[in-house]
Structure 1
């Protein structure tokens, strides 16, 4: 495209007038799909609710594409097919891409590819998992080469015939990276990318937190930056490890660094068994819960396995089951109107009907911050099919009550496994220590697939010392509640349109009003103040691109979070007013 700087943006009010005009020129005058309009503009019922993405070069607009998100509750395809004819439209994670249109002189360039890729990135950044589209039959080869597949329905609109197409977001992303990597790399170097997500995906395709460490410096040359950064995008503890932990690490660090640890972490296993009242043979340890997740799921699951995940839920589980192993994964939607709580009757019915090999429950859940009582989960498990294994992730249970753990059940019931990280509750995120509780035969199988020295010596020393200081941590967990409540009040006081939801753990969520700035914009604006928050949009379309998660920190850092959010909202609000003054309602972004 000539090497000139291209711009990719969400449509402005001025862009909309051009879009309606181009649609009329192409679909009414050129293709005869619609009757000509005396005013020379073509609109439809979704205008003002869907999202238009525009490609431009300088003042010249090149083309656009429309995206309809699932939270609108309706699609353009509803005019042609019922939900019974196309059940796909009843899913909560399906985005419709439509009316990809390019000015005639730019049709031989990569403009269409760029717009399709922009739509894909926008959808992925809002947690979309499936795309549906209507592709003109005369352009079907272009859509198929992009990774879309016909579903078996053809629709007629005016003089044109369309094929209904679909694909998963992950498959479309893989296709883009495989077939168009060179072109996209070239485009990435000449595009002024004004959308609120990065141009390129992460290499592993998984959305993690931790942008704050990038700001500190992942090469460790500017570690002094850690004093300036508020790392509220990851859920590391705001408090230091117990004094005994610090003493154990400081006593002889040179020895701890050069000495091989106990081969099977025998001392740590014994300490966990004592602290939790569990038999040692029911335990396995790993370098953080992710280590245990990858190791266990890799042993138990295959591409033929069926897995049920809570939605929203911790993204690592979707990454491992869908992208690494390739399982058949379903989501159990948690609803905002239900305060994100698990409905046990609804979940029980889904599990009984679903023939699942594995059900994953993070309890308390991250990112919703809700806790399901142990008694409810016990009843759910008891009523579930014998073939279904339950994985209960209790990484944040200390913030609720350790007596709510299902570890005792897991030690005796082969259908239940409990995973517990020591990172978040015990301020040991840097140590990477976690354990798993399972019936002894299951635990023994996993230990056979555990390499020697699974945890470093400093990690084992720290974990043992932490488990020997229950009073210290109980006090820290209690103090977290008061810090969290104060932070929630202060954030809610910034703007009555904000929805602040406290969790039961060491974080809370803030949802921005519909029609205002996106979560990604708030996160990016806070970076200017060295404050890092987590945009939850990629985890689930239920967040509608408007919710951030904020880790609870100490009082001073919490105050910086509030100040940064206030400044960011003022800036973003000012931009919105300027947009309105320029000629129209601010577009949803």
Structure 2
């Protein structure tokens, strides 16, 4: 039996072999470059490329390079101007180049696995489009993988290349569908060492919650919850209000067997009283995702055009792009601007009235920034009448009710405000949420709400929680204190890592360029029972380097800091430096 094929990121020791293999193939075999006396071919992008290597034991058999958008340049820039190939100016474009396999391995699985490895690495870093140069004589192979020529041919030495491109979602769909049997067969015989999962999630939407795999999704080992720190999801660190706890436990048998009020009438009445809103402007749901799917499914079609903030909550991209198939554009938020939503930029982007829907998560998850309500309201008021706005205020409780646009939404038919009770009311498990819209819009959504959409435990707990604002005010203030202390303790571990506080219940860690990937840090913390969230799949703006850490209580925060320190020490020891993905640069 042959040894398994290993897929891994290149390290510094691989680069000499990569340069020598390039020379043997592209200079001596294909005549693409002139041979040289050193027998090595370097690439001008070696300092920016990420190289993935296939090997059998100690024998390397092939590699592929990926040039990420944060490099600021591509190999194709040598052949075509941006005017000739404008897709290179789009965000989230990753270039795949130099797929090279040793002659004796070309009839095996190495080439296909390297192409697939590049796709998974790109998807794990928030890539949305791939561009590549493929030899013209092999274009059918690339077509079979899902790539399509753009109509541009370039010549390098004696070799013609087609410029190819595809959306990452399409390539992933092709791999999971057309090539599913091949991937299933390869999965059992490949030693996958990349810091990207071999396969995407079943629905293609990247969420937190991997910590439940350690607890046990079959619920047979729930005692493990005391050992695992679930800092990869933003559930509250504190329990719900005493009244909510009491109503859930005092007669659990009756609650479990009894059908709830059909339309959550009591919950809607309580929300109307607490928020000072007409009851006819409210619609209840089983969590915000329920409301998102229900509303967007009614309003949008594949011909709809949607604007999302980037980085932003991944559910919105999933529903609009993958479920409905809308045309989705993104307003890129900038690290150098503190991730803030610039109202001038936003107003300019929506001014032509081409968008059917604009989604703003405020405060934003995962950036943790809040756009002042007055600024956002001014942009919406001046925006074209045909554009609908969806404002997600799941984390607004951490800022304050005065910053809500709910009263605006109750009057303006263009605006809907969605609010989850999961995060600030500590009710993630029971699933309760609501939206605010002008009465006609709210009534339409209520008509499309199935009966008993919100469970009796959720209705009872939500009503009890709404009746105890003092309890939650104290818990939210304590969250701010815990967050500040956690950020300070994390920052003290390593000055090369940027620690940023959000306005909500999390902080972010951004590792230095050339240091370990976010995925590597997350994986290294898990043996300590600490689960963090790699933000890389949400946006290429994170460059594969940013981790989100949910605020927990004092004891758990201390364990998070200890695990983080141990993880960095282990990564340093493993490679002799704070470099994993950057070691080949």
TM-score (normalizing by structure 1): 0.98
Is 2:577 aligned against 1:587?
A: no
Which residue matches 1:228? 227
Which residue matches 1:253? 252
Which residue matches 2:437? 438
Is 2:34 aligned against 1:35?
A: yes
Q: Distance in 2 between matches of 1:330 and 1:167?
A: 16
Matches within 5 A, 1:103-118: 103-118=102-117
| Preserved CA contact (<8 Å) 1:3 1:190 | no
Q: How many residues align?
A: 585
Matches within 5 A, 1:128-527: 128-353=127-352, 355-527=354-526
Which residue matches 1:49? 48
Superposition deviation, residue 578 in structure 1: 6.8
Superposition deviation, residue 48 in structure 1: 2.6
Question: Unaligned stretches of 5+ in structure 1?
Answer: none
RMSD of Structure 2 on Structure 1 (CA): 1.3
Q: Distance in 2 between matches of 1:35 and 1:232?
A: 54
Q: Distance in 1 between matches of 2:194 and 2:68?
A: 16
Superposition deviation, residue 475 in structure 1: 1.1
SS in structure 2 at match of 1:466: helix
Q: Distance in 1 between matches of 2:393 and 2:48?
A: 40
| Preserved CA contact (<8 Å) 1:341 1:371 | yes
SS in structure 1 at match of 2:411: coil
Q: Distance in 2 between matches of 1:480 and 1:338?
A: 25
SS in structure 1 at match of 2:358: strand
Q: Distance in 2 between matches of 1:440 and 1:4?
A: 66
CA deviation string 1:433-472 (max 9, x = no partner): 0001111111111011100001111110000000001111
Q: Distance in 2 between matches of 1:355 and 1:576?
A: 50
| Preserved CA contact (<8 Å) 1:520 1:545 | yes
Superposition deviation, residue 579 in structure 1: 9.6
Superposition deviation, residue 354 in structure 1: 6.0
SS in structure 2 at match of 1:411: helix
Superposition deviation, residue 17 in structure 1: 1.0
CA deviation string 1:10-29 (max 9, x = no partner): 11222211111111111101
Matches within 5 A, 1:1-12: 4-12=3-11
Question: Unaligned stretches of 5+ in structure 2?
Answer: none
SS in structure 2 at match of 1:461: helix
Q: Distance in 1 between matches of 2:248 and 2:78?
A: 66
User: CA 1:161/1:407 → structure 2, altered by over 3 Å: closer, same or farther?
Assistant: same
Superposition deviation, residue 586 in structure 1: 2.0
Q: Distance in 1 between matches of 2:396 and 2:88?
A: 37
| Preserved CA contact (<8 Å) 1:230 1:532 | yes
User: CA 1:149/1:524 → structure 2, altered by over 3 Å: closer, same or farther?
Assistant: same
Superposition deviation, residue 92 in structure 1: 2.2
| Preserved CA contact (<8 Å) 1:516 1:576 | no
Q: Distance in 1 between matches of 2:109 and 2:463?
A: 58
TM-score (normalizing by structure 2): 0.98
Superposition deviation, residue 179 in structure 1: 1.9
CA deviation string 1:13-67 (max 9, x = no partner): 2221111111111110111000001111111111132011010111221111000
Superposition deviation, residue 585 in structure 1: 7.5
Is 2:57 aligned against 1:58?
A: yes
Of stretches 27-36 and 352-361 in structure 1, the one that deviates more from structure 2 is 352-361
Q: Distance in 2 between matches of 1:197 and 1:52?
A: 14
CA deviation string 1:63-99 (max 9, x = no partner): 1100000001000001111111111111220000001
Q: Distance in 1 between matches of 2:569 and 2:62?
A: 32
Superposition deviation, residue 402 in structure 1: 1.0
SS in structure 2 at match of 1:132: strand
| Preserved CA contact (<8 Å) 1:515 1:587 | no
| Preserved CA contact (<8 Å) 2:353 2:386 | no
| Preserved CA contact (<8 Å) 1:410 1:438 | yes
CA deviation string 1:265-310 (max 9, x = no partner): 1000000000100111111011000000000000000000000000
User: CA 1:3/1:280 → structure 2, altered by over 3 Å: closer, same or farther?
Assistant: farther
Q: Distance in 2 between matches of 1:98 and 1:437?
A: 49
Q: Distance in 1 between matches of 2:426 and 2:543?
A: 32
| Preserved CA contact (<8 Å) 2:92 2:540 | yes
Q: Distance in 2 between matches of 1:127 and 1:152?
A: 26
CA deviation string 1:114-169 (max 9, x = no partner): 00000000000000000000111111111111111111211111111111110000
Q: Distance in 2 between matches of 1:175 and 1:194?
A: 23
Q: Distance in 2 between matches of 1:109 and 1:562?
A: 45
Which residue matches 2:528? 529
Q: Distance in 1 between matches of 2:218 and 2:562?
A: 29
| Preserved CA contact (<8 Å) 1:245 1:466 | yes
Q: Distance in 2 between matches of 1:130 and 1:436?
A: 34
